[in-house]
Amino acid sequence: MLKALIFDVDGTMADTEQAHREAFNWAFEQEGLDWHWDQPLYTQLLEISGGKERLLHYWRQQYPDRLEFNGHGLRDTIDRLHAYKTAAYEQAVRDGAVSLRPGVMALIEDAQRHALTLAIATTTSPVNIAALLRTAMGPDWQLAFAVVEDGLSAPRKKPAPDVYLQTLKRLRMDASDCVAIEDSANGLNAARAAGLKTVITPNSFTAHHDFSGALRVVPDLSGVTVDALNQWVTERSV
Ligand code: XBP
Ligand code: MG
């Protein structure tokens, strides 16, 4: 029987990437950059996990030989852009720009009824997790999660397995006792590299990804219960 569920955040617990994209574009305006990440471009750029890594990847695409902007070095500019973006994203979430996806809260509550342990394994920044879950679950949201591993605590981003390996280590559980819930190919590959069976709930940014090896791919978590997850795990192990 499962002992723990490990949730990804962006795209899984909530459809946050539109709000991230808009926050990035606001940051570019503040910095006087004529960059604009539209939906198709951002869908491609999401193949790079981590906002700073995504910015660096795009910078190197746009200006392969440029190491500074407005007298600031590359790293400083990226750190400043990411700080602007994170502040804008946090405000948008506080203002109600995103809500939990269908079935997420019901599965969390069902897991609590079954005395399962809950954890978070994400590449996003800690302030983003807090902004989303404080708004969605209230100020004591952190009490629901035994472990939270994020973009700061696990700097090597998905598809590297680090964030999941660190979560399992802190849970003191074997991967076989847990299920990961993800939305993207990077997330699936990170979880599987850590030995985790993974349920995928795609979204508009990831629907085209390759989810081979997933325990299940479902449109969202509506109707997904702990009993259903145990059933899927049992079916897979026979
Ligand atoms: C998705 C990501 C994050 C967000 C942006 O994280 O890759 O980078 O797109 O957030 P998840 P930051 O693992 O939860 O799907 O700018 O804070 O990275
Ligand atoms: Mg995700």
Instruction: Give the confidence band of 73 by pLDDT, cuts at 50, 70, 90.
Output: very high
Handedness of CA 46, 52, 58, 64 (dihedral sign): negative
pLDDT at 237: 80
Percent of the chain with pLDDT over 90: 97
Residue 69 has pLDDT above 90, yes or no: no
How many Cα atoms within 13 Å fall on the side-chain side of residue 63?
Answer: 12
With a cut of 90, say whether residue 23 has pLDDT above it. yes
Region 122-130: mean pLDDT is: 97
- Which residue bears the tokens 């599987």? 192
Q: Which ligand is nearest to the CA of 101?
A: 2
List residues near ligand 1 (CB under 6 A).
Answer: 8-11, 17, 20, 49-51, 122-125, 128, 151, 158, 187
Kindly report the protein residue whose alpha carbon is nearest to atom 4 of ligand 1.
Answer: 124
Mutate to test the pocket of ligand 1, among 123, 133, 164 (most ligand atoms within 8 A of CB): 123
The pTM of the full predicted model, rounded to 2 decimals, is: 0.97
Mean per-residue pLDDT of the chain? 97
The verdict on whether 10 is a catalytic residue reads yes
Angstrom distance (rounded) from CA 194 to CA 26: 36
Q: Which of 49, 132, 150 to mutate to test the pocket of ligand 1 (most atoms within 8 A of CB)?
A: 49
Ligand 2 center to residue 64 CA distance, Å?
28
Tell me: pLDDT of 238 over 80. Answer: no
What pLDDT score does 70 carry?
84
pLDDT bracket for residue 168 (50, 70, 90): very high
Q: How far apart are CA 222 and CA 144, in angstroms?
A: 20
Give the pLDDT of residue 132.
97
User: Confidence class of residue 126 from pLDDT cuts 50, 70 and 90?
Assistant: very high
How confident is residue 211, by pLDDT bands cut at 50, 70 and 90?
very high
Residue 169 predicted with pLDDT over 90: yes
Q: What mean pLDDT comes out for the span 4-12? A: 98
pLDDT 10s digits, 24-52: 999 999 999 999 999 999 999 999 999 99
Are the beta carbons of 150 and 129 closer than 8 angstroms?
yes
For ligand 1, atom 10, the nearest C-alpha belongs to 124
Q: Which two tokens stand for residue 70?
A: 């407005």
What is the arithmetic mean of pLDDT over 2-27?
98
Active site residue 8: yes
